[in-house]
Amino acid sequence: MTETRFLSKTDKYGITTTFGVVVMLLLFMASCGKDNKEVVEVTFDPENTYTMKATDVTSLISDSGITRYRLNAKEWLVFGKAEDPYWYFPEGIYVEKFDTLFQTEASIKADTAYHWDKKGLWKLIGNVEVESLQGENFQTSLLYWDQKEEKIYSDQYIRIEQEDKIITGIGFESNQDMTKYKIFNSQGTFPVNNTTPDSSRVNTAVADTTVVEVAKADSIKND
């Protein structure tokens, strides 16, 4: 009987002790869970928090079912939750346009680029360089490409190198193929073998007016 009572007493205390430990563990876990929840809470800024990141990007882009462009970028960030969703290329971008035989016929590059999908607008910044369909080279520090309006424009210094001459000015507007364009506040035309402005060489009238229209303007559309 003594042994039986001893075992009974031991079981009773054992159950009580185990129950107490379980309750303490549950309370401790609940407390820790609450603390962790407070730590991970952060403010989400959709305008400055990207929803996708890609590196060493090479992408082929189709137009009417035909591959027309190839895009290369070291880093591509997508801000898909922003009020006006946009793409950001912080380390530059290079785009080639192909002909029907997949030969490069035009290209564009810049140090930094933005693209707003809803607007159909590209903004290219820093050492922007364009090789056009006609073989002309365009250089500027800022360029906009409005795909909906099918035009390219800038309000910054522009340098256009043709086969035999260089044209410079402040402000520029063109069709998106860059085959017909206007230069605002033209600084003149210089022979390609002497790019240094010289009063004896400056020709303020552009020879080929069917391609280039020199115009004055107080301002140019900017975003």
| H or E element in which residue 22 lies | helix 2-40
In this prediction the pTM is 0.65
Kindly give, in sequence order, each residue whose CB lies less than 8 Å from that of residue 1, ignoring residues fewer than 6 positions away.
none
Tens of pLDDT along the chain (223 residues) come to: 444 443 444 454 455 555 555 445 555 555 555 555 555 555 778 888 899 999 999 988 887 778 888 999 999 999 999 999 999 999 999 999 888 788 888 999 999 999 998 999 999 999 999 999 888 999 999 999 998 999 999 999 999 999 889 999 999 999 988 889 999 988 888 887 644 444 334 333 333 332 334 333 333 344 4
| H or E element in which residue 14 lies | helix 2-40
Q: Look up the CATH number of domain 52-215.
A: 2.60.450.10
SS3 184: strand
**Can you tell me the distance from the alpha carbon of 167 to that of 135, in angstroms, rounded to the nearest whole number?**
14
**Can you tell me the distance from the alpha carbon of 183 to that of 207, in angstroms, rounded to the nearest whole number?**
13
Output DSSP code: residue 168. Answer: E
The domains of the chain are located at 1-41, 52-215
